[in-house]
Amino acid sequence: MDKSTLRWNGWGLCDAPDVLGDNAEGIWQWLGSYFGMGTLPHTPAVALEQASLPPSRLNASQQQELAAIMDAQRIVVEDRERAYHARGRSYHDLLHLRAGRLQTAPDAVAYPATAAEAQALVAHAVENDIALVPYGGGSSVVGGVTPAPTSAQRAVITVDMALMNQVLDINKTDMVTHCEAGIYGPHLERCLQEAAVTLGHYPQSFEYSTLGGWIASRGAGHQSNKYGKAEDWFVAATLATHKGMWHTETFPKSAAGPLLRDLVPGSEGVFGIITDAWVRIHELPEKREYRAWFFQDFESGVNATRALLQHDVPTAMVRLSDADETFFYSVLHGGADVAENGPMGFCLMLVGFEGDAATVEYGAARAETVLREYGGADMGASLGAAWLETRFETPYLRDPMLDRGLGVDTIETAVSWERLPQLHQTVCKTLTEVIAANGPQNDTKSIVMSHLSHSYRTGASLYFTFVFPRNGEDAIGQWQTIKTAASDAIVAAGGTISHHHGVGEDHRDWMKTEKGPVANALLHALKREIDPTGVINPGKLLS
Amino acid sequence: MDKSTLRWNGWGLCDAPDVLGDNAEGIWQWLGSYFGMGTLPHTPAVALEQASLPPSRLNASQQQELAAIMDAQRIVVEDRERAYHARGRSYHDLLHLRAGRLQTAPDAVAYPATAAEAQALVAHAVENDIALVPYGGGSSVVGGVTPAPTSAQRAVITVDMALMNQVLDINKTDMVTHCEAGIYGPHLERCLQEAAVTLGHYPQSFEYSTLGGWIASRGAGHQSNKYGKAEDWFVAATLATHKGMWHTETFPKSAAGPLLRDLVPGSEGVFGIITDAWVRIHELPEKREYRAWFFQDFESGVNATRALLQHDVPTAMVRLSDADETFFYSVLHGGADVAENGPMGFCLMLVGFEGDAATVEYGAARAETVLREYGGADMGASLGAAWLETRFETPYLRDPMLDRGLGVDTIETAVSWERLPQLHQTVCKTLTEVIAANGPQNDTKSIVMSHLSHSYRTGASLYFTFVFPRNGEDAIGQWQTIKTAASDAIVAAGGTISHHHGVGEDHRDWMKTEKGPVANALLHALKREIDPTGVINPGKLLS
């Protein structure tokens, strides 16, 4: 992954095309008018040269010591690299990066090429009290890769795993692949698909995130109904830790006590650096079918989704947008003309099936029966095909919004079916109200929308997106106020603080509350045991 | 569960009928002749009155202190209760119980009726340095409920959860039930089935084991392909611990760090006493279909099973016996006449489908195609029906075998598909050889047989049963030698020391090896944090 081609302060390729295409101008005009802002303002990011990047605390002799572990060229102290790694890619991160506030930049970026090098780096960090930040694709939206403030003396090295990008083995008897953790999504799938298999994990960040990052954050891909969430397809890992290499259990199942490997997904690098992992694979789907369905209201769609799951209908994906999201995406794809009609009230569901022909045909036929039962109307295959084609474009919308005085953020949760409707309602209401009271205008308008994107027998995840006029004078404070209100509302409604984004710095306090005192004490005991001096990813997950 | 109706030194009801029925005499004669023992000897167990039960160390004032926590009638020091709870129900346990060696008996058995009482009992134990042994149905076959030897001063109380047997809630929206942990299998399923739902967890011990025990040991039921293993259907629990009540996470899914609830399945009571749990339920199956198939050899059957799993065919159960087990069960059900033919070489597979009619019909049709592809021959529904009807009878065979100078034990594992054939072969060979060299005769004969009983995309479990002439003079030593050799062979072949029996006292050393130093240190750190003085189930799991 050549980082010189990627934006150091935004999403993806520097020269990515405008994803709104011909609709762009109309949509910006519509948004300006919707928010009562007239023509949207021009609010560009500062250039790297104008940014305030503190000097690296890593002196020449320290760099030389590191060169004993790995090739000196792979210990990078160059400005752009340090700026690139200063933060993840949340809205909050972008506010800082775009303003050129780079106080969190690491003192160096190290690129280990082998597990042995990663382990040597950990040992060196322990011995010299240097903080390490494990880094995959850096796409965290919860402050998961932001170097935490340290004392003036304590250097921070970000450990970028990008050179550890090999598929080591594809075992088609066990349907498991063994890969280095720094492999990016597209490279991994290319290697697997050449062997006619797939991991099937396609998170929104797929293009710029890694296997190790997916595991560390308990990520979820679009087709999680078939392929599972990271903790489901995860089989085993090797971690470079303060206490040496940790090889987790590898068995298909075991009753030999609690499985400690279950602590790896979601560990966010605080126990050690994942150097390689074994994960489940599937045969490349013989057939794919994605269809769109319309529902009269969100509740009917939710009930239909629940029925699909609880009646064992084999879907790959069920993605149900509420009326506001259905409307917003119809504007994005259809242009500003579509906006004139306003929200129509109905809700779009995309249902996907993947696998061998028999599974897909059976699943699609059963789903049709169930969805009709709940009042669904079949809208054919074209919307599903369009979604499949453009699904990785959405993150690219954020930078142009930030260039135009807007703010946009997302939060997500998982909750039981029983509590889901109430949570949906209360979080949308909270977001609307908190934005109204904390924007640049009186009663600031917002776009608040949601979809259900991952479903289980006992509940589902909800994902909220909100767009709003940015408070230019205190954008960070505005974000913090909105984030806190929405997170409190999620927790009060019985949801978890995260279904797949993770904890990082941003969700620490809520995680502490939801785990409770006994579980928190256990987590801290684990951390004390495996990293007694707190060298590995300090400030993350635990508070 | 009225324990006065149950054998204190054997399996199940005191007055259980002879499961061999009319075949009994022929089969005993055949076994005597097979083992070269002539007429099998008469080796009855000693009566309770002849057993050596040490006096309770719990003095009157200690009993009175406990009576402040719970009704004095529920602190039992009576002989039969203490003998009943002296051990689990492994072959090793039965050797001790039948010989009247009751040195491991607890000083008292406490029956808490509420979570608050269980928590008060833990607090009392901490304060007075009394060891507690959490106890469900007591069916452990790995020494999981045997009170460990303590100092002369330290009393041991077994905490029998049988009074905490209520279904607290059945939530058909979330398809989750909340139950007290001491509820026995039949009672639980009766309550659930009255509400038209099922947990679907039917381990071999179903009749005499509890929800809490299933979770604590990571148990597996016959239909685990559909309903999952304990760690799969487990949603959340409450535990009474040294540090107070622990309420685990309850969300359908979460990325809020590692889920500490994942440490509860397999914890075997060493972190605390599970007082109640939330578990997933299913609608009662509309349809059930169990069919038998014959395969030319074990390998073809294994490959067919793997294909079913990796092609997402929705089975409830796939149970494949090797040729020796197929033969042995045909003798048990068909009588000694069947034995004259000797093993025929073919292997019996029972395949079960459960669920709504559409799922069952689809699954059965797809399975038929796959099984034929691998050379399977459809033997119809009668063998499956017979198995369903008699499946809880097998454990009853053990006591009459022990009455007749024989020994019988089982071991099990899970292993990747790739390693499974080699493991099957090497463990069978090891068992045959170690029994030959350590029996009462020169080259002692044995019956060694195996089946594959739980299958996953990446591997499966194998279950081995072995019958042999008991070494009357040193039956314990003989058992230990066989157990060690077979366990070493499993681990050497890449299997886990247990797929669903657990660890207890018997598998501690092998678990330590398979976890490795980092994971072991983490487990000990968890134990130190949650039970710093080691009052809860000392001697189990950790070594």
pLDDT digit string, tens, across residues A474-532:
999 999 999 999 999 999 999 999 999 999 999 999 999 999 999 999 999 999 999 99
Task: Test B249 with A515 for CB contact under 8 angstroms.
Answer: yes
Task: Test B255 with A310 for CB contact under 8 angstroms.
Answer: no
Closest to B174 (Cβ–Cβ): which among A243, A459, A501? A459
Chain A neighbors of B252, CB-CB under 8 A: 414-416, 456-460
Task: Test B514 with A262 for CB contact under 8 angstroms.
Answer: no
Chain B neighbors of A356, CB-CB under 8 A: 311-312
Chain A neighbors of B454, CB-CB under 8 A: 253
pLDDT tens digits, residue range A388-438?
998 888 899 999 999 999 999 999 999 999 999 999 999 999 999 999 999
pLDDT band at A543 (very low <50, low <70, confident <90, very high): confident
Place of tokens 């319309």: A294
The CATH number of A167-283 is: 3.30.465.10
Place of tokens 């917003």: A328
Chain B neighbors of A256, CB-CB under 8 A: 266, 496-498, 502-503, 507, 510-511, 514-515
pLDDT of res. A193: 98
Chain B neighbors of A173, CB-CB under 8 A: 306, 416-418
Closest to A521 (Cβ–Cβ): which among B249, B521, B529? B529
Tell me the domain boundaries of chain A. 17-40+392-500, 167-283, 287-389
Q: With a cut of 0.90, is the ipTM above it?
A: yes
Could you tell me if A225 and A454 are in contact, meaning their C-beta atoms sit under 8 angstroms apart?
Answer: yes
Bridge partners (DSSP) listed for residue B110: B75, B159
Size of interface A-B (CB pairs under 8 A): 266
pLDDT of res. A53: 96
Residue of B518, B524, B526, B528 best to disrupt the A interface, most CBs of A under 10 A: B518
SS3 sequence of A267-318: CCCCCCEEEEEEEECEECCCEEEEEEEEECCHHHHHHHHHHHHHCCCCCCEE
Task: Test B311 with A258 for CB contact under 8 angstroms.
Answer: no
Cβ–Cβ contacts within 10 Å for residue A239, how many? 31
Looking at the complex, report in whole angstroms how far the Cα of residue A271 sits from the nearest Cα belonging to chain B. Answer: 10
The CATH number of A287-389 is: 3.30.70.3450
Q: What is the mean pLDDT of residues B440-460?
A: 97
Closest to B253 (Cβ–Cβ): which among A314, A414, A515? A414
Task: Test B454 with A253 for CB contact under 8 angstroms.
Answer: yes
Q: In this structure, which topology does domain A17-40+392-500 adopt according to CATH?
A: GMP Synthetase; Chain A, domain 3 (3.30.300)
- Of B514, B443, B497, B453, residue with least CA distance to B141: B497
Looking at the complex, report in whole angstroms how far the Cα of residue A500 sits from the nearest Cα belonging to chain B. Answer: 5
pLDDT of res. B1: 66
CATH of B288-492, one of 3.40.50.300, 3.40.462.40, 3.65.10.10, 3.30.565.10: 3.40.462.40
Chain B neighbors of A262, CB-CB under 8 A: 258-259, 262-263
pLDDT tens digits, residue range B365-420?
999 999 999 999 999 999 999 899 988 888 999 999 999 999 999 999 999 999 99
Average pLDDT, chain B: 96
Q: Per the structure block, which two tokens stand in for B314?
A: 């929705």
For A52-79, give one letter per residue: b (16+ CB within 10 A) or e: ebeebbbeeebeebbeebbeeebbbeeb
Could you tell me if B193 and B214 are in contact, meaning their C-beta atoms sit under 8 angstroms apart?
Answer: no
pLDDT of res. B303: 98
Chain B neighbors of A418, CB-CB under 8 A: 171, 173-174
Residues whose CB falls within 8 Å of the CB of residue B522, separated by 6 or more in sequence, listed in order: A260, A263, A526, A529, A530
**Alpha carbon distance B515, A326 (integer Å):** 49
Looking at the complex, report in whole angstroms how far the Cα of residue A43 sits from the nearest Cα belonging to chain B. Answer: 34
Is the domain covering B20-160 a CATH 3.30.1300.10 domain? no
Looking at the complex, report in whole angstroms how far the Cα of residue A457 sits from the nearest Cα belonging to chain B. Answer: 7
Residue of B214, B369, B454, B458 best to disrupt the A interface, most CBs of A under 10 A: B458
Closest to A459 (Cβ–Cβ): which among B252, B358, B414? B252
Burial degree of A253 (CB within 10 A; 0-12, 13-18, 19+): buried
